[in-house]
Structure formats: C-alpha cells, structure tokens
Chain A
Amino acid sequence: MNILGGIGRAVLTLLADIGRLADFTGRALAGLVSPPIYGRLIGIQMLRIGYFSLPVVGLTAFFTGGALALQIYLGGNRYGAEAIVPQIVVLGITRELGPVIAGLMVAGRVSAAIAAEIGTMKVTEQIDALTTLATNPIKYLVVPRLVAAVVCMPILVAIADSIGVFGGYVVSTGKLGFTGSIYLKNTVDFATRADIESGLIKAAVFGFIIALMGCYNGFQSRGGAQGVGAATTAAVVSSSILILAANYLLTSILFNT
C-alpha cells in the first residue's frame, strides 16, 4: 500500500511540475508578444549570454574539431579512407557537435547564472518588489533572457562551427599531413546550406531551452542559499537533458529519418 502511495505521489508531483512548467512557458510566450518590450535589458542579456560565452564556446569548438579530425583519420585509416577527414569534420561540426557542444557549454554557464540570479531575487523578495512597482516580473526578467538566448545561440554556433572546422584544419595540416588549400576546398565543396541551417535551427531551440529552464528554476526556488543552490543545479541538469532530447528530435525531424 505504501509503495502504491509513493508511486502515486511521485506521479502527482511529476504532473504538477509539468503543469507548472507549461503554465510558466505559456506566460513567457505571452510576454514575448505583448508590450512593454525592454530593449535595453535585451541588449544587456545579449552581452551576458552571447558575448561573454564566446571564449568558452570558441575554445571547446576548437579542441572538439581537432579531436574529431584525429579520430576520423585514425578510424578512416582502417579502411584506407583517411582522406575523408575534411568532409566528416565539417559535417559533424555543423550538424551535431557545434550546436550540441555550444548548447551544453552555454547551459552550464548561462542557465546556472540565470537560475542563481533569479533565485536570489526570489528569496530576497526582489521579485515581489517588482510586482509592487507595477512591473510584470515575467516581462522584465524572463522575456529579455529568452529573446537574447534565442538570438545569440545561432550566432554563437555559427562562430563555433567556423572555429571547430578551423580546429580540424589546424590538426589535419599540422599533424596529419593534409595540404591546407585542398582541405579547405574539400570542406567548402562538401558542406551544404542545409547542414549549416539545421545546426542554427537547433541552436535557436537550445537557446530557448537554456533561458527557459534557468528562469523557471530560479522562479521556483524556495528558502535561502540551499534553495538557490538546488535551483541552479536543477537548471543545468534539466536544460542539458532537454538539449540532448531536443537534439535527437530535431535531427529526426530535420533530416526525415
């Protein structure tokens, strides 16, 4: 009986969480299409989410591209297909690794920061203070972060794609004996517009997930420092899992597989 009760409670808690997230998402989307729109805050968030994520995204993309080139070369070598390195690097980076690696890195950096900031505002009554000052907290706090993340993530991924391919180029020409001009020609000839676009669409969706989960978990935080810490952890874990799940779904939809 206790086991059944426990399962029942867990299911109810899960359903309540899904309901709360759906309600929060609905209010956030409604905030996107109704005034006021805080342009100045969107600009500040673009700086925080986009510009300040450039070093971490760039470095990860560079090393990922380099490691990918090495692995493809070693794997292809078994079948005498090591010349295929530029093609597979550009395909892997633009379609999968660029958006996913950038998404996960930004989730760790930005989603945590958003949850910690909003969570602290929640437990110190700053969000209540916004309400008393006739300011809608969803429009003031959530909408600028959502807009900034959805706009910045594709830009970050475009940069990550370029740096990732460059990482592959550096390793291939410096260590694996490829000729630079041939490597670049193979890369450009092989990459299609759809490869790049699919990565950018994924990036926009990942940006939405990152900002939404950061804001939602921040708003849900309770208690003091421990509650804010739990919200931060929940934001990173939930956004990372949702990014990987969304990546699979989007790959399946975008490539009709």
Chain B
Amino acid sequence: MTAKIELIGVKKRFGSKVVLDGIDLAIEKGSSLVVIGGSGTGKSVMIKCVLGIITPDEGTILVDGVDVTRLKGAARDPVMRKFGMLFQGAALFDSLPVWENVAFGLIQGRGMKRTQAREVAIQKLAKVGLSEDVAFLSPSELSGGMQKRVGLARAIAADPEIIFFDEPTTGLDPIMADIINDLIISTVRDVGATALSITHDMVSSRKISDRIAMLYNGRIIWQGPTKDIDHSGNEYVDQFIHGRAVGPIKMAVKA
C-alpha cells in the first residue's frame, strides 16, 4: 500500500547548523501520526518541507506516491489543495473577518463565490463549536482558544486529504487543550483525512495519534504505535515522555 506521505532521507541545514539529518518517515492513508521532540529539534522545519514552504537540501518527499520535493508555483497548486494546516499561533489574517479567514482557501484557492463560501465557513465554524456571531468578528477580538478553533475551521474548510497540526495545544489551558484535542479527532475523522502533527505535549500526542515518532538530532530515533510509547525501550524517548531533566538528552541553550 502506498503511503499518503513519505519522507526519504530528507536533509536540511541552515548555514553550518544541521537541522534535518536524513528523515525517513511514512504515514499511511487515514492514520494520525504525531512527531514529538524538544524545542528546536527541527519539527517545524520538517513539516514546512512537506508543505513546500522550505525546500530540503537532499532527500525526497512523496505525496500519494508523487515526488513533490521541488515542485514550485502553479505545478504545486494541485498538491496544496490536498493540504490543510493549523499553525501554532493560528496565523489568522488580521485584515479579514473570521468567516473570510475560514473561507480564504475556498475563495482564493478554488474560486468559490463569496456568498457560497461564507455559508461553508459558518458551517465549519459550527463544527468547531463557534456560533455565527463569531464569523463577523475580527481575529484580534478572539481569545487564544477561539483563534485555534478558527484556525482548525480554516484547516478543514476545503475538506483536505491531509491535515497538518503545528503544536495545536501550545499556550492553551488544560481544558481548552482537551477541547482542541477532541475537535482534532472529530474533525479529522469527519473529513476522513490523514493527519501529521508536531508537538511536545505528551497528553495531546497520546490522545490524537495512532502512531508516534520521535525526532532528535535531526533524525527519527523511534517510531511505533501510540500504545507502545511507554515500552519503547529507548532511553531518549523515556526521558522525553516523562519530562526528566536527567538523561541522555542534553538541552541546547542556544538555537
């Protein structure tokens, strides 16, 4: 069976700093993989390589078996239409009301009429528990949790095949984090999407994933089913999931 997303030997460096040092990772269609790892280990760079925002130095990225590693411009548009993304800080457009943020990909990316796109946006907002009133507010009028919900509504607005989540629960209180986790599970299931998430929140990782992979020193050092994470037999994974200061992982002071 062809993996929905596959990374083969992906490498990326910035100047002398090696961020990704040969990532090999495959995500099956309809599954949810969470990549864990400390801050500054290259999780965001990895996800941006898959999204085409950063071009890897070496390696191959396949989406549905097609090499998309160096696709640019209009040639990349069909691939981008398969993607939805929830950014860490939601990354909502300040200049647009909430509904237009949600409908942005439909209007600009797919040429849907604004009135029709607004109806779809209001439906998607309802799916993440936000009322129609919110649709006409500015993003700056919303709390962090509400912004995340709007970001999630935007990510699922065009019913994408693959959804990326960048630190979906960072900066939220535990209750709001749990609500976002539940929304991620339900929305991914409703859309029938494949999900790739990056986080260092273990509660969230365990809840939203089928499989977990750990990134350390630019490489995937362990991956397996979520239920096996507590018996990984990997001392790096053990230290990370239990949040111990003492262990083989030494935290870098400088990025």
Contact = CB atoms under 8 A, between A and B. Distances in A.
Contact of A136 (B51, B73, B83, B85): B73
Given A134-B109, A135-B104, A125 B80 contact: no
Contacts of A124: 89, 91
Given A134-B77, A134-B80, A126 B93 contact: yes
Contacts of B51: 128, 131-132
Contacts of B40: none
A23 B104 CA distance: 28
B226 interface: no
Given A126-B91, A128-B87, A133 B52 contact: no
Given A125-B89, A125-B91, A134 B53 contact: no
A133 B109 contact: yes
Interface of B: 48, 51-53, 73, 77, 80-81, 83-85, 87-89, 91-95, 104-105, 108-110, 154, 164
A188 interface: no
7 contacts: A36-B108, A132-B80, A132-B84, A132-B85, A133-B108, A134-B80, A135-B109
A178 interface: no
Given A126-B93, A128-B48, A128-B53, A133 B87 contact: no
B13 to A, nearest CB: 17
Interface string A129-170: 101111110001000000000000000000000000000000
B195 to A, nearest CB: 15
A129 B73 contact: no
Nearest to B104: A133
Interface string A99-142: 00000000000000000010011001110110111111000100
A131 B51 CA distance: 8
A133 B77 CA distance: 9
Interface in A35-81: 36
B109 A129 contact: no
